[in-house]
Structures are given as structure tokens and as C-alpha cells.
Amino acid sequence: MSKFALRTIMSLILIFAVTIVIYFFPNWAFCLVISIFVAFGQFEFFQLVEKRGIFVYKYFGTALGAAIPFVVFLGNSFSGLKDIAPIFIVAASLLVFTLQFTRRDNARDHLISTALTMFSLFYISWFFSFFVELKLMENGANLVMFLIVVTKSTDIGAYVIGSFYGRHDLIPRISPKKTKEGTLAGILTSLIIALVLGKLLTGFSFGRLFILGIVLATLGQVGDLAESLIKRDCSVKDSSTRLPGIGGMLDLIDSLLFTAPVFYFYLKTF
């Protein structure tokens, strides 16, 4: 089976599973799924870091990262715990530093190890936790679905058009297979999906949907390139082989890591 066919089949399975989780799972179970996604993505990131010969407390860091979505859920569910998320993140940062004090080797990578662990907590766990914030908003299920469909349609459009018609490289030193044709196709696909499905899922005006389509498509591409930059630096093609045809969990969620917080703050602001 070709990689394109395998990727298509896996994508359809994931779309079906995610739709069930969004619309039929209670909020706490949705939060659990987000934590599982974070845990796998976080662990894959630490494995990439280890390939560079950098020591990290990957199990502890993964546990901290997986806890953040639940902390966000608690903060939104109980008025007395509304400030628990920033408190937890500060406490987690202190723990990351404290762990470095326990190392007995005369290592010279304490700064890099600490910085990468803390970076992963923000880049993967906290950013992806905004899906919990979105789900708990009014019309949350439709907002989450809108964000995922618009963002991932960028990936699909860019992959399909780029694979068959891509001729001009985008940034070959970061991602040699991404093309300018694919990038433009991804943005156009996202814009069309935003305008067609956005009215049904969100009720926003076409003007707002046009802006969101462009912004989310662009941020999705940036998120994809950001992970490609990390993988390139670690000399790997995919974050893992966990998802046939796609790669790893980090490969799956990379484009959503920037769109989720930006979409949330857009809704809160406007």
C-alpha cells in the first residue's frame, strides 16, 4: 500500500474517532484524551532531544505535561481553583530546576536540559491544553471541530497538491518536501472549508470566517514548519512511527499547537 493511501485511511479513522470524542464524550473524558495526546507528543519530543545526546527527565517531564490539561480543566470547572493552572506551571518549572540539582554527574548540559524541558511544557502541553478551554466554552464542541477541520484541511490541501503538482521548494533546509504550490493550496483549502462549514458550526459572519480561514491556515503551516525544524535539527524524518502513514503524535498535532491558543484568544477578545 502506498504512503498516500495509508495516510488517507489513517486520517479517516482519526477523523471518525475525534468526532466521537468531541460530540459524545463528557468534558472530563475529552480532557483525558487531550492529556493522552500531550503525553505521547511530549514523550516523542524528549526522545528527539535524546538523539542529540542531551539528557532530559523524559518520564517526569511527560507526567508534568500530561497533567496540565487536567489542571486547566479543574481551573475552569471550579471557581475556587481558577488560578490553579498558572500556579501549577510555575511549580512545574521549579521542579524542573530542582531535578537538575539531584544529578550526580559533572554534566555541562544543565541549561539546555532545563530549557528544553520547560520549552516542551509550553510548546506542547500548555498550547494543546487550549482545546480544553475551547471545549468548555459555549458551543464548545462545534468550536473545537471548526478549529480542527480548518487547520487540518490546510495540511490535507498542502499535502495532496504539493505531492502531485509541487515544483518550487518552500524552505528546503527545513522541510525539503514542502512546496510553494502546496502551501498556497493548503491556505486556499482552509479558507474554503472555513467559509463553507464555519457558518454551520460557529454562526460567524463571512468576514470573520474569511479572516479566521487565512489566519488559522497560516499558523497551521507555521506549526508544521516549526516541528520540521525540530526534527531536522535532530536528524529524523518523523517524530515516531506510531501512526502509520502519518508518523508520530507530534507529527499529527504540530499544526494545531499554534492555532488552538490563537483561536481561543480571538474568541475571548472579539
1 pLDDT above the threshold of 70: no
The pTM of the full predicted model, rounded to 2 decimals, is: 0.93
How many Å separate Cα 11 from the centre of its chain? Answer: 16
Beta-bridged to residue 210, according to DSSP, are none
106 pLDDT above the threshold of 80: no
Residues whose CB is less than 8 angstroms from the CB of residue 87 and which lie 6 or more positions away in sequence, other chains included: none
How confident is the model at residue 108, as a pLDDT?
78
How confident is the model at residue 101, as a pLDDT?
86
How confident is the model at residue 12, as a pLDDT?
82
Do residues 248 and 44 lie in contact, with contact meaning Cβ atoms separated by under 8 Å?
A: yes
Cell representation of residue 205: 459572519
Task: For the beta carbon of residue 39, count every other beta carbon within 10 angstroms.
Answer: 19
Question: What are the tens digits of pLDDT across the range 243-254?
Answer: 888 889 999 999
Question: What are the tens digits of pLDDT across the range 6-59?
Answer: 877 888 899 899 999 999 999 999 999 999 999 999 999 999 999 988 889 999
Q: Which of 64-78, 154-168, 210-224, 255-269 has the least mean pLDDT?
A: 154-168
Average pLDDT, the chain: 91
Q: Which of 19-23, 59-63, 85-89 has the least mean pLDDT?
A: 85-89
How confident is the model at residue 236, as a pLDDT?
87
